[in-house]
Structure 1
């Protein structure tokens, strides 16, 4: 299994350690894991130049930082996005990276490989907010075309992993084990459901009448999607 992880932070707190538990359960000797840490691998802020939409992703001012991560995601069987909860949202550094992925949404130029992947989104919080983070991260994966995404959100009741109570850690490990087993059974064997297919159909209709972005429309024509071919 090929796994790519986008860590929304550099520190190794509760979200990081929960993610490592998942990796321990999901990986074996044949697994390939690529990890990116934000802000170390975060590009500069999106400047709204629209180059990625109208001229192609390689014309983005930050393409040298963005595209190595994108390529690893395209190669992966499982994409993991994780972030601690910061004021009821994901970390700013992870959001900065995701802002650069707008061109890969189904409304623009989705990659066909995304329609066969599984996503996993993870967040922890000392109090409330982790579910809000995972919901936002899941939405990003959905609009990339990822047909199945699992969410793991946990209130840990502590500001550091070391301070999380032993019983809570045992509960997390038990839940992680069960979810990891489910993901392992389904990885490389997932297909788009009704929601993904319906969104793709809507985007297909939109591209047929697209008269403002030739780059997007030409991409869809080249893929054969406008004429009825599907990416799955």
Structure 2
């Protein structure tokens, strides 16, 4: 199994340690894990130039930094996005990275490999906000086409992993174990839901009628999606 992990921050706090718990339960020596830490591995903000939409993702001014992450995501069977909660949302660094992948949302040029992958989003907070942070990450994976997305959010009631009570850590470990079993069963078996299929069909109709962006339309036409073909 190939796994791509994106950490929304550099510091190794509660979110990082929970990601590691999942990796310990999900992997063995035969699995390949690519880990990206933000902003170390992508330190540029999306400048809103529209070049990726209009001229292709390789024309992004930050292509050299985005491309290694994009390559890893394409090869992954499981994609893990993680971030501590920042004012009821994800970290700014992770948001900026995800903005760079707007071109591969379903209304534009979805990557056909995404429609068989599994996603896992993870967030922690001392108190609240995990639901909104996780929803942000889930929305990105869904619009990429990822058909099966799991979510884990935890109010750790502490400002660092070392400050979490033993009782709370035991609960986290049990929950991680249970969810990991479900994730393992899904990898390699994920298929698009009816919601994804309907949305994809609507996007196809829009591409047929729209002349706004020839780059998007040519991509859909080249993949045969305007004449009944599908990426799954």
Distance in 1, matches of 2:203 and 2:147, equals 15
The residue aligned with 1:21 is 21
The residue aligned with 2:141 is 141
Distance in 2, matches of 1:8 and 1:18, equals 13
Alpha-carbon distance, 1:130 to partner: 1.0
Q: How many pairs does the alignment contain?
A: 232
8 Å Cα contact 1:43/1:66 also seen in 2: no
The residue aligned with 1:36 is 36
* TM-score normalised by the chain length of structure 2: 0.99
Secondary structure in 1 aligned to 2:134?
helix
Q: What are the ranges of 5 or more consecutive residues in structure 2 without an aligned counterpart?
A: none
Does 1:182 pair with 2:182?
A: yes
RMSD over aligned Cα atoms:
0.6
8 Å Cα contact 1:7/1:36 also seen in 2: yes
Q: What are the ranges of 5 or more consecutive residues in structure 1 without an aligned counterpart?
A: none
Distance in 1, matches of 2:74 and 2:119, equals 12
The residue aligned with 1:226 is 226
Distance in 1, matches of 2:61 and 2:107, equals 22
Alpha-carbon distance, 1:43 to partner: 3.9
The residue aligned with 1:119 is 119
The residue aligned with 2:95 is 95
1:209 and 1:43, CA in 2 relative to 1: closer, same or farther beyond 3 A? farther
The residue aligned with 2:75 is 75
Moved over 2 A (4+): none
Distance in 1, matches of 2:217 and 2:155, equals 44
Distance in 2, matches of 1:43 and 1:227, equals 40
Distance in 2, matches of 1:91 and 1:219, equals 32
* TM-score normalised by the chain length of structure 1: 0.99
